Structure 1
Amino acid sequence: MTARIAYADVEVGTELPGAVFPVDRATLVRYAGASGDFNPIHWNERFARDVGLPDVIAHGMFTMAEAGRIITDWAGDPGAVLEYGVRFTKPVVVPDDDKGAEIEVTAKVAALLDEEARTVRVDITARSAGQKVLGMARAVVRLA
């Protein structure tokens, strides 16, 4: 665990360290096993295309979790995240090749909510293949 960020050390516009998360088909299989979500759109290319998708796609909750990692890493404590929500805007398409896909995540402090409670709102941007994959991605975080 990293050191906790102090409320006094942030201001609106403070950028969190960004991250790039690789995702390949093997990752999707492992996530399916852990989550119990074996929907074939996440592993069967033919099925995914038959239902109108361009290819196999990552689980939405997997994408959300990867994006949330930069918040918990920055805050230094997963328990500091009081609220977290997103809207799924585009799927993360995961081709069956040596590269797979990447989820690129950035975030910044968008509001100082409550000085006494030391809470801030962090807005998150997640992209894959140049497209925004999460909308309205926000977290409320209690800082040290």
Structure 2
Amino acid sequence: MPDFDSLTVGDVVAERVTAISRDSLVRYAGASGDFNPIHYRDDIAKSVGLPGVIAHGMLTMGLAVQPVVDWAGDPSAVTDYQVRFTRPVVVDPAEGASVSITAKVGQLDAEAHVARIDLTVTFNGDTVLGKAQVRVTLPR
């Protein structure tokens, strides 16, 4: 687990590039029960104005927080997580999609021993999760 006292605002605590394939979408649909056809049929996705099949928002959100969970070393240390969905992640049938995640210390609360970790989550250079913030409570 990270040492709270060694953290400084602006520190990058995790970076990761995560691949999403159409197979990932099928597995996530099965696990979540979200079988909306915009997540597996290009024709339906395009009929509602999307550029193609898109990743589930909650899948993107879950993948984005994982590097912070790994850094914290304990999933229960994550006490709050919020995002705004700003753009879809379009998953190409052959190439899939690569989502880049950077986690930086945005704020430190010494009294509560809580680090706010700000996530930058991008796909094709565009931010896909806005105001993505994770609160991590670290031991004293």
- What is the one-letter code of the residue matched to 2:66? R
Q: Give the TM-score taking structure 2 as reference length.
A: 0.97
Number of residues paired by the alignment? 139
What pairs with 1:65-104 in structure 2 (closer than 5 Å)?
65-97=62-94, 99-104=95-100
Residue 17 of structure 1 corresponds to 14
| CA distance in structure 2 between the partners assigned to 1:81 and 1:17 by the alignment | 15
Q: Give the TM-score taking structure 1 as reference length.
A: 0.94
Residue 138 of structure 2 corresponds to 143
After TM superposition, the runs of 4+ consecutive aligned structure 1 residues lying more than 2 A away are none
Residues 1:26 and 2:23 are matched in the alignment? yes
Q: CA deviation at 1:74?
A: 0.8
Residue 51 of structure 2 corresponds to 54
Q: CA deviation at 1:70?
A: 1.1
Query: Which consecutive residues of structure 2, in runs of 5 or more, have no partner in the other structure?
Result: none
Superposition CA RMSD, Å: 0.8
| CA distance in structure 2 between the partners assigned to 1:107 and 1:93 by the alignment | 22
